Amino acid sequence: MNQLEIRDLWASIDGETILKGVNLVVPKGQVHALMGPNGAGKSTLGKILAGDPEYTVEKGDILLDGESILDLSPDERAKKGLFLAFQYPVEVPGVTIANFLRLALQAKLGREVGVAEFWTKVKKALELLDWDESYLSRYLNEGFSGGEKKRNEILQLLVLEPTYAVLDETDSGLDIDALKVVARGVNAMRGPNFGALVITHYQRLLNYIVPDRVHVMMDGRIVAEGGPELALELEARGYEWLRERVKEEA
Amino acid sequence: MSEVDLKALGEEYKYHFVDEVKPVFVAERGLTRRVIEAISYHKGEPEWMLKFRLRALEIFQKKPMPTWGPDLSGLDLDNLVYYVKPAETRDAKSWEEIPEEIRRTYERLGIPEAERKVLAGVGAQYDSEMVYHRVKEELERQGVIFVAIEEGMKKYEDLFKEYFAKVVPPEDNKFAALNSAAWSGGSFVYIPPGVKVELPLQAYFRVNTPEFGQFERTLIIVDEGAEVHYIEGCTAPMYSSESLHTGVIEIVVKRGARSRYTTIQNWSTNMYNLVTQRALVYGEAFHEWLDGNLGSKVTMKYPSSYLLEPGARTEILSIAFAKTGQHQDTGAKIILGAPHTSGTIVSKSISKGEGRASYRGLVKVLDGAKYARANVECDALLIDPESRTDTYPYIEIQEDTAHVGHEATVSKMDDEQIFYLQTRGLKEDEAAALIVRGFIEPIAKELPLEYAVELNRLIELEMEGSVG
């Protein structure tokens, strides 16, 4: 059961149901893409996986390696190895990236992390992302450009080394160079002990992070699944044909 | 009793222990002529000081309680003990009788055991003689005077008399009068012209005098071109069985000198903390106040800088943390009294639970203070829906060429920030503590490292179990 499994998940916010029975499995060792038009519920799914208290889960389950995480707080989920790269990373003034990252790593590992150990890890990640170490003394996301914020999310991904990562539109607002850097970070994580769900609106990112599987979400449900070629087809034909097909099937 | 009730009780009483100090002399209750005479007698003071105290007593008795600020109705001035002369040695065993809670707090703050005992008001005096011997030698070589205020009064009487009560006269306010009548303990500091003291002077350099008096009085004179950083207090909880602390801090910063006065206080929550801190700043000199107020029931404290000659500058940075049952009424005053003087006030307050933090500030530009500039920034952070903050900024400008700016923000603990940090593995209260630390970072980074570390740890403790 080495997988992230979403089982018939229904969820709402302020009385409005957003997720209407999502079924999705990301096995460990694979990278899957979640695509879909705006308002399909992709970002909502990401937040609910991470445990955002704003949403109410009405039905269904989320299983991490066979174990339900539905009753766990966001930090407990993080300690179990789940990571969410935010679409809109939050600014925390006065808290340096270095300070924050070390606290996060200590929380994840459940032990003190010495400066040398921390530094070795961070330096490797910075090099991979082509990022200057001066960023470490900047305050967390404060005054960052959209691209810097996304890069910072990937920095955290590399340092915290989660087992499963959900990347919520990490490509949005990035130019092609930044996109390549982000992809490099994610690809570096790939391996038998890492699974990822890459949420994206466009196929572009998937040229650089080639997914093992592609899931398509509409109106709070998964309506199609396939290999990487499905992403290309969506790129070429748009989402409308799929919407028509879903209607016909219904 | 449920777990929740126990916890609430622990919160309320955690600093509430009785020490085993055996005082050799305890004055009667209330502030009377007899008590003042007894204080003066026990200190072996010169005649002029007794006269000064008695004059201050009259002023104190005439002045009404201030009604423009926090509620002081719980303060029964007639029922306080105004002077306790501590015994020479204290019972070290009583450390064991300090509640587990407060000992744990000291441990988690990482305060060395010897210091903890002093902070707790029990045990042997912290023997800093060995550690600071060399520091003291170096200071003496430079002609720096750094002694208990009583010693300053006796040993350096002429110098002392020239400045004592000149910055804050007893007429200034009721509590300055009270302190002038009953003062005991504090520091006397003199830095000769041109001498730059490298290490911060900390109250615990002084050996064998109590860290804090109930009516401490400190006088610091920084002569022309000299530099000093003075640190008073610490972030660990300070306990006193009496419920009033009224300090007076007087600082004279002469031409071209630089000084900084840092104080972080965390009194137990039974305390009315009413302090007058004032600096006179002369030509081209620079004075900084760095003021942190964490404990007490009510704090009224507005460090002030009087910029008296051209080019004098000041910065006043303050942090206040108010929890349920606490009212931190703090702020700053800058009087710009000469051309090209300038001042900055940065005030940050955090209100938690039903705590209330008020910013009360005065910026006054006198006629003729051409091109004087002042800037005020006060930011309030509210942790809980029932937390409260208010701002009372008074600005008086009598000079057309002056420029005064004022900016105030109020923010609430942001759920999105909490969630973001939680997804990185921090618990909800750890996330909240980190956000609070970030909020005060612009001021905390000005603190010496060990104080900043203590302050951060303390905020973590304060925020534990505070949300969710």
**Radius of gyration of chain B measured on its C-alpha atoms:** 22
Asked whether the predicted pLDDT for residue B21 surpasses 90, the reply is no
Give Cα A153 to chain centroid, integer Å. Answer: 10
Which of B348, B416, B423 is the mutation pick for testing A, counting most A CBs within 10 A? B423
Task: Tell me the β-bridge partners of B265.
Answer: B293
Question: Structural domain tally of chain A?
Answer: 1
CA B91 → CA A101, A146, B63, B95, B121, distances in Å? 46, 62, 40, 8, 10
Sorting pLDDT into bands at 50, 70 and 90, what band is B384?
A: very high
Residue B339 in this model has a pLDDT that exceeds 80: yes
Collapse the DSSP code of A178 into the 3-class scheme (helix H, G, I; strand E, B; otherwise coil) and give the result.
helix
pLDDT of the residue at B264: 84
**Contact: A92, B423; criterion CB under 8 Å:** no
B341 pLDDT more than 80: yes
Res. B123 pLDDT band, cuts 50 70 90: very low
A60: contact with B, CB 8 A cutoff: no
What pTM, to 2 d.p., does this model score?
0.83
Distance CA B230, CA A26 (A): 60
Averaging pLDDT over each range in A162-176, B188-202, B356-370, B447-461, which range is the top one?
Answer: B356-370
- In this complex, which of B414, B419, B425 lies closest to A104 when CB atoms are compared? B425
Task: Please give the Cα distance from B426 to A73 (Å, whole number).
Answer: 10
pLDDT at B185: 82
Class of residue B51 by CB neighbours under 10 A (exposed 0-12, middle 13-18, buried 19+): exposed
Q: Among residues of chain A, what percentage have pLDDT more than 70?
A: 100
List residues bridging with A127 in a β-sheet.
Answer: none
Give the domain CATH number at A47. 3.40.50.300
pLDDT at B448: 79
Range of lowest pLDDT (A148-162, B83-97, B114-128, B312-326) = B114-128
pLDDT exceeds cutoff 80 at B18: no
Asked if residues B313 and B283 have their Cβ atoms less than 8 Å apart, the reply is no
Interface membership of A44 toward B (CB under 8 Å):
no
Mean pLDDT of B220-234: 90
pLDDT greater than 50 at residue B468 = no
Average pLDDT over residues A42-66: 96
Are B421 and A78 a contacting pair at CB < 8 A? no
Which band of pLDDT confidence, cut at 50, 70 and 90, is reported for residue A40? Answer: very high
- Is pLDDT above 50 for B11? no
Sort out which chain B residues have CB atoms less than 8 A from A156's CB and list them.
424
Beta-carbon separation of A90 and B427 below 8 A: no
Of A179 and B451, the one with more pLDDT:
A179
Least confident of A143-157, B3-17, B340-354: B3-17
In a domain, A31, yes or no: yes
Poorest-pLDDT segment among A138-147, A213-222, B9-18, B402-411: B9-18
pLDDT attached to residue B97: 54
**Residue in B422, B428, B438 nearest the CB of A92:** B438
* pLDDT band for position B87 (cuts 50, 70, 90): very low
pLDDT above 90 as % of chain B: 59
Please give the distance of CA A164 from its chain centroid, rounded to a whole number. Answer: 8
Angle at B27 between CA B26 and CA B33, to 5 degrees: 160
Q: How far is CA A11 from CA A6, A44, A201, A224, B106, in A?
A: 12, 9, 21, 20, 46
CB pairs under 8 A between A and B: 84
Residue B93 has pLDDT above 90, yes or no: no
Q: Average pLDDT, whole number, for chain A?
A: 94
List of residues 6+ apart from B201 with CB closer than 8 A: B139, B146, B189, B228, B229, B230, B231
Classify residue A136: in a domain, yes or no.
Answer: no
Task: For chain B, report the end-to-end CA distance as a whole number of angstroms.
Answer: 22
pLDDT mean over A85-108:
95
Comparing B21-30, B215-224, B343-352, the range with the smallest average pLDDT is B21-30
| Residue A225 lies inside a defined structural domain of this protein | yes
Q: Which of residues 68-107 of A touch B (CB under 8 A)?
A: 73-75, 77-79, 83-84, 86, 89-95, 100, 103-104, 107
- List chain B domain ranges: 3-301, 413-468
A59 or B201: which leads in pLDDT: A59
Q: Which residues of A touch B434 (CB under 8 A)?
A: 92, 95, 100, 103
B437-461 exposure pattern, b = at least 16 Cβ within 10 A, e = fewer: bbbbbbbbebbeeebbebbbbbbbe
Mean pLDDT of B53-77: 93
Domain that holds residue A203: 3-88+162-249
Mean pLDDT, residues B37-54: 93
Is residue B277 classed as helix, strand or coil in its secondary structure?
A: strand
| Residue type for position A93 | P
**d(C-alpha B196, C-alpha B199), whole Å:** 9
So what's the ipTM on this one?
0.97
Looking at residue A211, its pLDDT comes to 96
Across A212-224, b (16+ Cβ under 10 Å) vs e yields bbbbbbbebbbbb
Of A22-26, A68-72, B84-88, B389-393, the poorest mean pLDDT is in B84-88
Tokens matching residue B181: 């009548």
Per-residue pLDDT reduced to its tens digit, B313-329: 999 999 999 999 999 99
Residue B334: how many other CB atoms lie within 10 Å: 31
Burial of B426 (C-beta count, 10 Å sphere; 0-12/13-18/19+)? buried
Looking at B115-124, B187-196, B211-220, B328-337, which range is the least confident one?
B115-124
- Residue B304's nearest CA partner among B232, B243, B253 is B253
pLDDT value of position B106: 58
- Interface probe, candidates A72, A88, A95, A102, chain B, greatest B C-beta count within 10 A: A95
Q: What is the pLDDT of residue B135?
A: 67
What is the number of alpha carbons within 13 Å of residue B128 lying toward its C-beta?
Answer: 17
- Tell me the pLDDT tens digit for each residue of B367-382: 999 999 999 999 999 9
Residue B276 has pLDDT above 50, yes or no: yes
Q: Spell out a b/e string for B385-417, using b for 16 or more CB atoms within 10 Å of the CB, else e.
A: eebbbebebeeebebeebebeeeeeeeebeeeb
Answer yes or no: is A130 within a domain. no
Q: Say if residues A31 and A195 touch (Cβ distance below 8 Å).
A: yes
Q: How confident is the model at residue B453 (pLDDT cuts 50, 70, 90)?
A: confident
- Whole-angstrom CA distances from B433 to B73, B109, B333, B438, B465 are 33, 15, 30, 9, 10
Determine the pLDDT at residue B360: 95
Q: How far apart are CA A152 and CA B408, in angstroms?
A: 31
Of B90 and A64, the one with more pLDDT:
A64
Checking if the pLDDT of A190 tops 60, the result is yes
What is the four-CA torsion angle of A203, A208, A212, A218, rounded to 10 degrees?
-20
